[in-house]
């Protein structure tokens, strides 16, 4: 079974390959806007929009789309605008718990739409301003929601997680696998 991945994310591609899932990449070309405000509903809505857009161009094919956000006190943290924004985000997260939400939509060959979300709690170490600035100097946080990547150098900032690690990377892989293969 070949899946259409409606995402250009290299991390999602790596996760699907890790699970032995055959896929082709066709990113959705949509403006990512939503009326939703709760992080879980935001990611569900955006993943649904992406999946539907790609499914319309590929009827009869299985489409998988996802959207991931970092939320702190129910406020979504996007990608940092600049280094100072990254510093402010990481300082706010330091020593605290935040959530990573991923919404997933799978559209099957018959057009049935299945949307769900996963939430993982992430606890950050109490990171010093010097450690945060050194991490920012690596350049890694600049294209990451919440200004860090757990799968890279950003792992040194994270004390522990509660939930699915792969969800923090960008796709709750085990749940997606079970949904795709009904297992």
Q: Which helix (H) or strand (E) holds 119?
A: strand 113-124
**Exposure string for 12-26, b = 16+ CB within 10 A, e = fewer:** bbebbeeeebebeeb
Distance CA 16, CA 3 (A): 10
| DSSP structural state of residue 30 | -
Bridge partners of residue 56, in order along the sequence: none
CA distance 158 to 25: 31
Contact 165, 102 (CB under 8 A): no
Q: Which residues are catalytically annotated? A: 67
């Amino acid at each position: 079974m070949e899946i259409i991945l409606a995402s250009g994310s290299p991390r999602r591609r790596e996760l699907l390959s890790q699970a032995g899932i055959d896929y082709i990449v066709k990113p959705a070309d949509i403006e990512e806007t939503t009326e939703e405000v709760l992080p879980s509903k935001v990611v569900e809505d955006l993943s649904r929009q992406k999946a539907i857009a790609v499914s319309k161009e590929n009827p009869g094919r299985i489409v998988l789309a996802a959207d991931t956000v970092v939320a702190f006190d129910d406020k979504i943290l996007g990608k940092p605008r600049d280094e100072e924004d990254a510093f402010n985000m990481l300082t706010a997260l330091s020593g605290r718990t935040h959530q990573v939400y991923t919404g997933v939509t799978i559209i099957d060959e018959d057009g049935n739409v299945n949307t769900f979300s996963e939430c993982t709690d992430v606890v950050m170490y109490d990171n010093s301003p010097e450690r945060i600035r050194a991490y920012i100097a690596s350049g890694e946080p600049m294209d990451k929601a919440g200004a860090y990547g757990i799968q890279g150098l950003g792992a040194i900032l994270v004390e522990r997680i509660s939930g699915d690690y792969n969800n923090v990377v960008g796709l709750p892989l085990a749940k997606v696998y079970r949904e795709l293969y009904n297992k």
